[in-house]
Every structure is written in C-alpha cells, then in structure tokens.
Amino acid sequence: MNRMKLKAYAKINLGLDVIGKREDGYHEVRMIMQTVGIYDRICLTKRQESGIRIRTNLFYLPVDAENIVYRAASLMMEEYGIRGGIEIDLQKYIPVAAGLAGGSSDAAAVLYGMNRMYQLGLSLKELMGQGVKLGADVPYCLMRGTALSEGIGEKLTPLPAAPDCWVLLAKPPISVSTKFVYENLRVDELKEHPDIDGMKRAIQAKDLQGVMQKMGNVLETVTIPAYPIVAKIKEQIWESGALKVLMSGSGPTVFGLFDCWEKAQRGYESLRQTDISRQVYVTKFYQPKSAAV
C-alpha cells in the first residue's frame, strides 16, 4: 500500500472537570469525550526520497516540526526504522486552536495510517502509547466515540454510544491558548463541578436529558471572563432553542445540543448573520464502527 486517505474527526467535551494539579505541573482531569462528525482529510503517500513533506490548504500552518502531524510521522519513522519518506496532504476543516482536538486528531490519523501502510502490526493500545508522547488528546483521537478520560487525559474508558442529537458548533474569530487557560485556573476556588459519574450513568441509560443535566466545563470560569465573545455565542445558541450549550475544551468553540435538525439549522442561520462566529457547523455525534481512524 503506497497511498492512504483518512478522516480525522473532531471532538467535544460533554463534561470537563479539573480535580487538582500534579507536582509536574499537569492538571488531573475527568472528562467525557465525544467525537462529532466534522473532520479533516489526510492523504499519506510513500516517497522514495527520505524525509517528511507536508502540504496543507491553510497558508498559516507550519509544514515542519512545528506541525504535530510532522512530529507524528517522525516518531513512527524513528521508532520503527521506516526507510524512504512520506508526503502528508492535510486538508483542514476543523477550526484551528478551537478546543476541538483537530491537531491531535490529525496526529492520530498519521499514526494509524503509517501503522497500516508500513504493516507494523501495532495494536490500538500500542498506538495509543505512542500517541501520548505527542499530546494528551491523541490516544482518545485514536479510540474515538464516547469515553471517560482521566489522568492528564490519557487514561481512557470506553462508554456506550451517547444518546443521539444534533450538534451546532460555532467558533468566534479568536484563538485561545490552552496553556493560558490552565495557568489561570484556580482549582481550589471552583464552586461547581460537573457530575461526571452521573453523566456516565445517564449515557449508559440512554437518557439524553440526564446527560444534559450533568454537563459542565470548569474551564469556562477562565475563558469566558477573558473572552466575553464566548458568552455572546452561548447566549445566541440558547435563544435558538438548544437543550444545552457549553464551551468545548479550553475554547473558544461553543456547541449546542438540539433535539431536531430544524432548530439546529435555525441556530446556524442566526449565527451566520452575525460577526461573532465565522465558522459554524451543524453535525451529529459520530460513533466509529470500530476503534481507531
């Protein structure tokens, strides 16, 4: 196999709690992760010449080791003695620096694809072990679906598929530094925490209303005061008839959950008429038929 086409799916956080800070500076988290149906397209092509070549549809993305897909390919080549080179055509559709794990998902796709192309025979668990070297979200992006994420995000427990609904995603024309958000989070001062265990039980019971009642994201306490536009988007999505509205990850993307396509579409049209969000999507939860990309 000399060429492979892949889809790298985005994720949202149905629940994001931070329970403490470790001695190494990382934060201990408990999250419910959910894959959604927007994705980047990646094409891997073997090359006789050595080295890694990246092409992308976004002029501002780096095409060297600053890009996580480059590091993913380099990791596989060095770890498993892959000869020759590889070309990565990365077509970005997931918003960048948006709290949707787009870069992590792209890296996961490269790990998965190179494992297949070069017949390395690595299991999903082994790939996830390599993925955590690149970022805490990469192992989940290999697993996908609905999952409990703990530790720094690398400890994953698969969950049954979350109850289906329509998802409206909106990213304002700003980017938010995850590092900034975590550095300014005051864990000891948090007054409310999402009920992650309660959400697990609601997912297992296929209780969509129960899931929504337990949702929450403690990082909103940092991102929203620093970037009030996030609150404006949340308010507009609420006004469109959403059942629940939440920021994903460290932001700034906001998502709303809807029980019907018509309401989600009205929310989409409403946001497109404003200047508070330039990237707006209507999609659904995505459940892979099997693990990995």
Point out the residues that are catalytic: 11, 137
Specify whether the CB–CB gap between 11 and 100 falls below 8 A. Answer: yes
Spatial CB neighbours of 14, under 8 Å, sequence gap ≥ 6? 32, 33, 34, 162, 199, 211, 215, 246
Buried b (16+ CB within 10 A) or exposed e, 120-158: eebebeebbebbbebbbbbbbbbbbbbbbbbebbbbbee
Length of the chain: 293
Measure the CA–CA gap between 203 and 8, rounded to whole angstroms: 24
How far from 52 is each of 83, 84, 105, 262, CA to CA, in Å? Answer: 11, 9, 19, 45
Measure the CA–CA gap between 20 and 27, rounded to whole angstroms: 6
280-281-282 Cα angle (round to 5) = 140
Which residue intervals of 81-195 are DSSP H helices? 102-117, 124-131, 138-143, 178-183
Task: Output phi, psi for 24, to 5 deg.
Answer: -85, 5
Measure the CA–CA gap between 101 and 218, rounded to whole angstroms: 18
Specify whether the CB–CB gap between 79 and 110 falls below 8 A. Answer: no
| DSSP state, residue 133 | T
